[in-house]
Amino acid sequence: MKAAQRLLLVHAHPDDETINTGALMAMYAAKGAAITLVTCTLGDEGEILVPQVAHLASDRDGGLGVYRLGELRQAMTAVGVQDVRILGGAGRWRDSGMAGTAPNDHPSAFMHAPLDATAGELARIICEVQPQVVITYDSLGGYGHPDHIKAHDITHAAVAAAAQAGWTVSKVYACARRRRVEEADRAALVELAELAETHSSAVPFKAASANMDWATDDASITTAVDASTYIDAKREAMLAHATQISVSADGCWYALSDGVGAALRGVEYLTCVHGETAGERDADGFEVDVFAGVQ
């Protein structure tokens, strides 16, 4: 018997799922929802934060992708997600790297994956697990990463193909980083840096630049899932992605390889791009449950 609530998430690389939707996944998994994660690449081009495995970098011995697959499985154990799939099988599609970099030209770079074939495969997964709700990225891939953009494209094509094949997804969401929250994080880190200068104390991470072109204004956000009760699970998942994510000693902040800090929060923001929002609203008028209105 299928679970009453079924959620499918499509992410580009291991760690994307935890950063964007880790608390949400933990919350719905704990409530009994069936959750399927489809990760499109193994993140072969990620910068490595752990010196002991620096040799796994793509410009050295290679093998980071396989290592990160292990991190992904450990992270998903932390948030209670059992159904983890790699699109095309592990290693079929390669991390394309940032736009305009040499890995873009790799013959297996995900950014060049044929839309019909990859969407067809994802559509078959959709028809198998029958999610009412699908979560991926917006059309810009959040911050312009070509693999995030491709994940968006194939997800929407797959949802359309699945509908023709007999399963209609009720709601599709794009992950969002709320500008107001990101600006608050920046202000807090700037203040910490100023205090550190006078008290000779350490600052966990550096502040983001003022130009947050990847952040989303409130007018474009529809949904805020408050999974703060599950923030410990999200933190544990972040710690599992040790090659990619640094977590501050107090567990309150995290950063990627660029060292730019963000607060580790349990509220995760989304934009409903297919279907209708419904149900209870929070104080800001955001929908609070992605399954609201779903039969």
Burial annotation 100-132 (CB, 10 A radius, 16+ → b, else e): eeebeebebbbbebeeeebbbbbbebbeebbbb
pLDDT of res. 204:
76
Give the other-Cβ count within 10 Å of 35's Cβ: 26
Tell me which CATH homologous superfamily contains domain 6-177+216-241+268-274: LmbE-like (3.40.50.10320)
pLDDT of res. 119:
98
pLDDT of res. 212:
80
pLDDT 10s digit of each residue in the chain, 295 long?
789 999 999 999 999 999 999 999 999 999 999 999 999 999 999 999 999 999 999 989 989 999 999 999 999 999 999 999 999 999 999 999 999 999 999 999 999 999 999 999 999 999 999 999 999 999 998 888 999 999 999 999 999 999 999 999 999 999 999 999 999 999 988 888 777 666 555 667 888 877 788 899 999 999 999 999 999 999 999 999 999 999 999 999 999 999 888 999 999 999 999 999 999 999 999 999 999 999 7
Provide the sign of the torsion angle of the four alpha carbons 125, 1, 33, 65, taken in this order.
Answer: negative
pLDDT of res. 143:
84
Q: Where are the beta strands (DSSP E) in the chain?
A: 6-11, 34-39, 83-86, 133-136, 171-176, 223-226, 246-247, 253-255, 261-263, 267-274
pLDDT of res. 198:
66
**Model pTM above 0.75:** yes
Phi, psi for residue 36 in degrees, rounded to 5 = -115, 125
DSSP 161-224: HHHHHT---SEEEEEE-BHHHHHHHHHHHHHHHHHHHHHT---SSBPPPS--TT-B-GGG--EE
